[in-house]
Structure 1
Amino acid sequence: MSSIIFFDIDGTLVTEDERAIIPDSTREAIKKTREKGNITFINSGRTAFNISPRVKELGFDGYICGCGTYIEYNGDVILSSTIEKKKCREIAELMRECNVTPVYEHSEGYFFDDKAPMTDGLKYFMEVFVDSGIDVTGRVEDNNFGFDKFVIWVNPKSDMEKFRKEIGKDFSIIDRGDGFFENVPLGFSKATGIQHILNKLNIPIENAYAIGDSANDLPMLEAVPNSIAMGGAEVIYPYVSYITTPIEENGIANALSHFGLI
């Protein structure tokens, strides 16, 4: 029976720096494992529109995006969860009251709030988006405003007590460090995305593999018995079954070779 492999993007498939290198060995390894009949999936916190063509060109059978809020397989959307419009408006108003800086993430685009404080984090994100050709014109006032998940940056004047109390009712609040928080609707995660696909494709859990490089990959890594940490990702070493070499030292190829997937 075919195996299925779930890949994180940044720091796993693509170097997490301005070079954004995809090693040739990674390209070849993904090609070989698919030729062997194995199934490959992206599993990312990024929403669907923000999976770059360079990543897609590697060759994937499907995509789990937005921390499990969107799933695509063989070109068909099989799950898409967007928060109800009225609720989106209420959350946007609440974020203003909490004095935090949000970016609202939809499967088809991003939305920003010009009334929110500008932060170094947001400034950097927008510069990266512009350099990548991503549209940054969406605003909360737009008629089509809506989102699947959202992130925030905090500042010394942010009301985090109110934020946690209200947002915690409906979202998992993930502390990404340095005052940056990712907020995912309850019931969705990289792990739920994996389970949805395994059930749909009738693949046993022992044939599932996941590869990541950071703490936000833990739900994905802990959802499968064959979990792989990229070399250099010491923070997740205690939670995985195999540690491969760093990304630029044939990390993906070595991992797939170790498990007989190529």
Structure 2
Amino acid sequence: MPVKLFVSDLDGTMLPDGNIVSAENIAAVRRAVEAGVVVTIATGRMFEAALPVAEALGVDVPIISYNGGLIKSPSGRVYEEHTIDAATAHDLIAFCRMRGWYIQSYSGGRLRYAAPCDEAHFYENSQKLTGTPVGWEGLFAHTAGNCKLLLVTAGRAESTARAAEVSTAFGTHVDVMCSADNLIEIVPKGISKASALKSLAEKLGFSIEETMAIGDAYNDLPMLRAAGRSIAMGNAYPEVKEAADHETLPCEAHGLAAAIYRYVLGMGADAPVPLQRS
């Protein structure tokens, strides 16, 4: 069945770093769009951080941001929005403060954290954006309207332990997942890239069998399992490769472009970039 909706993760999939999309990936996306395929983004990033990428691609289709918490087009149309209950967000922030953990919030499209620190600088540098230090009381003052909260840790072991602790305490109200070894995403219960993919496909009039998704990280797993067909990046975590139907080249080798040419457009040996067998 032809692919009508192609959904791509950003970091580690379309982008090796920051907001710069390679010319190869841009060209492949535009070829797919010219062929009638709706190409969009599904990311854990805030909408404002994903927007420059959509603009570089030249597409004005709904973007899935905050790991499914917000579906919004570059032109500003909100298709769907889910936020963490304000009281739950308050308790989560207090939970982290009591343990000395770093946590950041995103209400109103602004990144906020308590104070400048290594974790904040790491995130800002990786996303090429600037947050606002507001103190703990400032975080407590902005508990409404958060599509997600994020913890930055020292690495996978610490992330695994903290994610389990948060899940035990708040698992009836939120879902907790690791998007990378040092990132813990906290989103409203039942919300994920998978739920957003299904919802967007329905809104656009496509069956799930007509969708294809590509990604590299743990938070991509639900989306890859939900899509009609799925592709793992060559740099993906082993669990992601195991769950996907196909594997493409690494991000630095324009694996997204290779996947589009091979699995979406069916160009095979005629594709402009090398293709990896799977």
Q: What SS does the aligned partner of 2:80 have?
A: strand
- Are residues 1:122 and 2:123 paired? no
Which has the larger share of strand? 1
Q: What SS does the aligned partner of 1:96 have?
A: helix
What per-residue deviation string (whole Å, max 9, x for no partner) do you get for residues 164-200 of structure 1? 4322221112245656422111110000000101111
Q: Which residue of 2 aligns with 1:197?
A: 200
Amino acid in the other structure paired with 1:255: A
- Are residues 1:8 and 2:12 paired? no
Q: In 2, are the aligned partners of 1:23 and 1:247 still within 8 Å (CA)? A: no
Candidates 250, 256, 268, aligned match of 1:246: 250
- Deviation of 1:21 (Å): 4.9
Structure 2 residue runs of 5 or longer lacking an equivalent are: 267-278
Which has the larger share of helix? 2
- Are residues 1:165 and 2:168 paired? yes
CA distance 1:138–1:59, shift in 2 (3 Å)? farther
Structure 2 counterparts to residues 86-101 of structure 1, below 5 A = 86-101=87-102
What CA distance in whole angstroms lies between the structure 1 residues aligned with 2:258 and 2:165? 46
Q: What SS does the aligned partner of 1:227 have?
A: strand
Structure 2 counterparts to residues 31-70 of structure 1, below 5 A = 31-60=30-59, 61-70=61-70
Q: In 2, are the aligned partners of 1:5 and 1:210 still within 8 Å (CA)? A: yes
Q: What SS does the aligned partner of 1:14 have?
A: coil
Q: What SS does the aligned partner of 2:177 have?
A: strand
What CA distance in whole angstroms lies between the structure 2 residues aligned with 1:154 and 1:2? 38
Aligned-residue identity in percent: 24
What per-residue deviation string (whole Å, max 9, x for no partner) do you get for residues 37-75 of structure 1? 110111011121221514432133120111111002473
What CA distance in whole angstroms lies between the structure 1 residues aligned with 2:235 and 2:181? 20
- Deviation of 1:227 (Å): 0.3
Q: Which residue of 2 aligns with 1:237?
A: 241
CA distance 1:84–1:140, shift in 2 (3 Å)? farther
CA distance 1:127–1:24, shift in 2 (3 Å)? closer
What per-residue deviation string (whole Å, max 9, x for no partner) do you get for residues 225-259 of structure 1? 21011123251221111111223334222211222
Q: Which residue of 1 aligns with 2:147?
A: 148
Q: In 1, are the aligned partners of 2:3 and 2:211 still within 8 Å (CA)? A: no
How many pairs were matched up?
253
Q: In 1, are the aligned partners of 2:119 and 2:152 still within 8 Å (CA)? A: yes
What CA distance in whole angstroms lies between the structure 2 residues aligned with 1:175 and 1:166? 17
CA RMSD of superposed structures (Å): 2.8
Give the TM-score taking structure 1 as reference length: 0.83
Give the TM-score taking structure 2 as reference length: 0.79
CA distance 1:92–1:56, shift in 2 (3 Å)? same
Structure 2 counterparts to residues 96-115 of structure 1, below 5 A = 96-106=97-107, 108-114=109-115
Q: Which residue of 1 aligns with 2:230?
A: 227
